[in-house]
Amino acid sequence: MKDVLAKALEGLGTANFEFSFCTKDKCRIDILFNATPRKDKNGIIIGVIGVGQDITGSKQVEIGESLMTQQLQVFIDTANAPIYGVDLDGLSN
């Protein structure tokens, strides 16, 4: 985080920087952060505009989907019977 803010103060914005931290209650929070240099009317950098978004819920969904994908892949790879896929009309591709 320190590097992201330092780069923004040098004129290099950072988009979609992800980091985690623990709250006082020992809960893990995942943040998506964007930092952009703030300039005055002469183009001189006078600060940083930072926006953070709590993505904890979406990260948990992403991890769950990845785990499910892995489990289904193992199921398919180790099945000892044929597996067929069909569309809503009952047709295979």
Instruction: Identify the structural domains of the chain with CATH numbers, from first to last.
Output: 2-77 (3.30.450.20)
Q: Which of 73, 80, 32 is nearest to 52 (CA)?
A: 32
Kindly tell me the sign of the dihedral angle through the C-alpha atoms of 14, 15, 16, 21. positive
42-71 tens-digit pLDDT? 999 999 999 999 999 888 778 788 888 888
What is the DSSP-derived secondary structure letter of residue 53?
A: E
> How many CA atoms does the CB half-sphere of 79 hold within 13 Å?
10
What is the DSSP-derived secondary structure letter of residue 90?
A: S
Determine the pLDDT at residue 51: 93
Could you give the residue ranges of the DSSP H alpha helices within the chain?
A: 2-9, 56-78
Instruction: Band the pLDDT of 93: cuts 50, 70, 90.
Output: low
Instruction: Band the pLDDT of 84: cuts 50, 70, 90.
Output: confident
